Chains A and B, each alone.
Chain A
Amino acid sequence: MKRIISQVTKELAQFRRDRLTLALAFLLPFATLLIFGFAIRLEAKDIPLVVQDFDRSYYSQTYIQRLFVTNQFTPIAWNDRQPIAQALDEGLAKAIVIIPHEFSRDIKGGKVGEIQVLVDGTDANNARVIKNSIKAFTNSFAQTQGLLPENPPIAARSRLWFNPGRQESLYIVPGVYAVVLWIFPSLLSAIAMVREKEKGTILQVYASSLSATELILGKSFAYLLIALMMGFCVMGAGALIFHLRFAGDPTPYLLTTPVYLWTAVMFGLLLGARSSNQNSAVQGVSIIGFLTSFLLSGFIYPLSNIPFPLSLLPNIVAARYYIDVTRDAFVRGTGWSSVWIDLLMIILLGAFYLHVTRKAMSRMQLNT
């Protein structure tokens, strides 16, 4: 035990001396939080739209006016002499609404009025949203003009749970915690492990009475302390800037976070122990860590959208379980009953990393 503690103090002293890494270790997570938290917005708003009105009647003018009242679309002026499809070609607009000559005549004559819409389909998801919202808007327009009954025969009364204001930061920011607190702790511990190997100081460790397990535990606890500080800063900033508050019982979250951070540190040590040089270790951690915690964790899009066989991978991604815990703590607030399994999975993954690292270390000791 005493040997582990002295190992921890040695690691921390070494870490403190490397100014650039120290600065990056605290600056990078903070910058990532800000960029992800502010710049990732999935809901389509302010979609640039060109309208061509051939009808110029009361109906068409009201239609256009109302269309831009909601903040979903922003009007883009277009010179009528140029072909209108060019607005989409040049990417100036995402959609074009064309109201034909006979629009109001048809409506007044009891025939079906037609609206033509051209949508830029490159961003398929957005295109679908644009289509749905223009259709929904047209119907509500018909309702206000008395063309459709004010009270529809069937109406859905929708209630949004947990997030009635549909604030997207409530979805993104707890996810950012999982990404940031996976990548940076593992990156730092991987660097520490490889540095020891590259500088040859690991041989001195082998020569000492320190066992492989003690070495790994010492390193991992040192970096766990650093990671905890990092986590404290990131989450403090998240609470201040994005107003995240605990929605229910905070204990699952407070207990899972150190376990998750330790698992991240172990993941870094594992890759550090297995790779021959610093460059490949850091590359490995940043690529694998980023791909798994960012893409295979359900951070942006639902995991159920990932096709088989890639869909099997998220089962062994710790970030995926941790995201469940953070979203539960800050948004859902259901507590232990739904997240105990996540904590269990993270513990299992951490134990597995520890086991593999220990194996790799003892093999290295024999070989040198």
Chain B
Amino acid sequence: MAFFTRFLNSPLWALVRKEVQQILRNKQLIVLLIFPPTIQLLVYGFALNPDVHYLKMGVVDYAQTIESREIVAAMTENQIFQVEQVLTSESQLARQVETGKVTAGMVIPPEFSRDLTQQKTAEIQVLLDGVDANTAGIANGYINQILQQYVLRRSNTTLPIETHVTFLYNQGLISSWFFVPGVMGLVLTLIGTISSAVIVVKEKDTGTLEQLLMTPAEAWEILLAKVVPMFVLLTGDVLLALSIGRGIFGLPFQGSFPLFMLLSGLYLFVGIGVGIMLATLCESQQQVVLTTFFINLPMVQLSGAIAPIETMPDFFRYLSLLNPLRHYITIIRGILLKGVGLEALWMHALALATIAIVVMAISTDRFRKQLS
């Protein structure tokens, strides 16, 4: 009890009350904490869609036989291609691919059916728009697969070796399940660094930091009083992001909720720490926003939120091990989608904790030095 009254009389408690009141009065901060994360989650979640489907295809069918029409029908069967135009000449088709009107073009030569019945290899010409190299490669694979399936169906045989593929964790292969957890991490990074940096630098900007120094409060108390309310507010953002992910994108939650909150809390400390560190480097709010941009851009790009890490060049792949966001995204994907716990994620949790401690130590040290 005595301890409690001492706490209520301490400068720390007074500072916490001051910060909470300031935050509550700061409508702009509340708006900043709610709207940008929501909009970002929605736009990223819906717009990041790598599915290869309904690719526009132009067809020139010189053969005009039952088989050639069957091939055209087979192409559209799986919604991967969409036959946009049936053209009459190859040069017309070439023009369409050139201008990007169609992504793929298929030319069935006049001798197609004859070759097929005479057991010769019947050739089909395929033109692909290679500007988007990745999509072109995938489309090419699909075309070969569709042709092979057609051949098997026609000759009523099966393949000599069957490949049975089972998808774990995401049987329906819904792309947003992969991207939305990544975007959750991204949103928390942006909002955590910017809002905490702005709060600290504002005090510097307006010169009230010197006034705080006149009070009996210690530097660590000033800082802690800033961190605690920020942390509580950002926890609200974690829940907001999670409910949008669950409610709108239908994300599963396979793992443990307490573990999710615990590690998210750890990640918030990283965000706040980075924010404070940037605030100690900058003199004005404008500089803070620019420098957070400078930090956040590589952090987001090298995290696997948007483009998978495995495909990056070695240098960037190793560099990404130092990126707290990378570990956090691996953790939430693991908890939400795979339902794994610390036994599988301990390395990432450990990395996150180490980074959090280092960042916090550096930023409090810089903050204290600046005060004295």
Contact = CB atoms under 8 A, between A and B. Distances in A.
A131 interface: yes
A42 B307 contact: yes
Contacts of B129: 161-162
B8 interface: no
A362 interface: no
B163 A122 contact: no
A35 B161 contact: no
B344 interface: yes
Given A44-B310, A118-B166, A282-B289, A24 B125 contact: no
In order of increasing CB-CB distance, the 8 nearest A-B pairs are A163-B130, A121-B170, A121-B167, A147-B160, A160-B130, A42-B134, A305-B49, A124-B173
20 contacts: A20-B287, A28-B293, A39-B312, A47-B310, A88-B168, A118-B168, A122-B169, A122-B177, A134-B163, A134-B165, A136-B144, A152-B148, A156-B123, A156-B140, A158-B140, A161-B127, A278-B285, A305-B50, A332-B98, A332-B131
B31 to A, nearest CB: 9
A21 interface: yes
Contacts of A156: 123-126, 140, 143-144, 147
Interface of A: 20-21, 24, 27-28, 31-32, 35-36, 38-48, 85-86, 88-91, 94, 107, 112-129, 131-136, 138-139, 141-142, 147-148, 151-164, 166-168, 170-171, 187, 191, 195, 278-280, 282-283, 286-287, 291, 295-296, 300-302, 304-307, 310, 324, 327, 331-332, 334, 337-338
Nearest to A59: B161
A286 B289 contact: yes
Given A28-B294, A119-B167, A138-B163, A168 B134 contact: yes
B43 A296 contact: yes
Given A44-B310, A136-B144, A302-B135, A122 B340 contact: no
Nearest to B134: A42
B40 interface: yes
Nearest to A306: B47
Contact of B123 (A119, A155, A168): A155
A266 to B, nearest CB: 20
Nearest to B29: A279
B contact face: mostly helix, strand, loop, or mixed: helix
Nearest to B293: A286
A295 B48 contact: yes
Contacts of B97: 161
B161 A166 contact: no
Interface stretch (B17-25, B331-339, B361-369): B331-339
Contacts of A117: 163-166
Given A88-B168, A127-B170, A195-B286, A287 B160 contact: no
Interface residues of B, number: 102
B80 to A, nearest CB: 10
B307 A116 contact: no
A24 B291 contact: yes
Contact of B133 (A88, A116, A168): A168
Interface string B300-340: 01100011101111001000000000000010011001101
A142 B161 contact: yes
A48 B310 contact: yes
B127 A121 contact: no
B236 interface: no
A135 B290 contact: no
A159 B126 contact: yes
Contacts of A307: 46, 49
Contacts of A114: 161-164
A132 B145 CA distance: 8
Contacts of A332: 98, 100, 131
B178 A123 contact: yes
Interface in B48-67: 48-54
B330 to A, nearest CB: 6
A151 B129 CA distance: 26
Most chain A CB atoms below 10 A, which of B48, B132, B141, B151 = B132
Nearest to A146: B160
Most chain B CB atoms below 10 A, which of A21, A43, A163, A301 = A301
Given A157-B125, A310-B43, 20 more contacts: A21-B290, A24-B294, A31-B298, A107-B160, A112-B158, A115-B164, A117-B165, A118-B168, A152-B147, A153-B155, A154-B71, A155-B124, A157-B123, A159-B127, A162-B130, A187-B293, A279-B198, A287-B40, A295-B44, A300-B48
Contacts of B266: none
A109 to B, nearest CB: 11
Contacts of A134: 163, 165
Nearest to A159: B127
Contact of B173 (A48, A128, A338): A128
A124 B131 contact: no
B297 A164 contact: no
Contacts of B302: 35, 39
A300 B99 contact: no
Interface stretch (B114-122, B271-279, B349-357): B114-122
B162 A338 contact: no
A338 B344 contact: no
B1 interface: no
A129 B161 contact: no
A267 B121 CA distance: 58
A334 to B, nearest CB: 6
A95 B330 CA distance: 17
Contacts of A127: 167, 170, 173
A279 B292 CA distance: 12
A133 B130 contact: no
Nearest to A116: B164
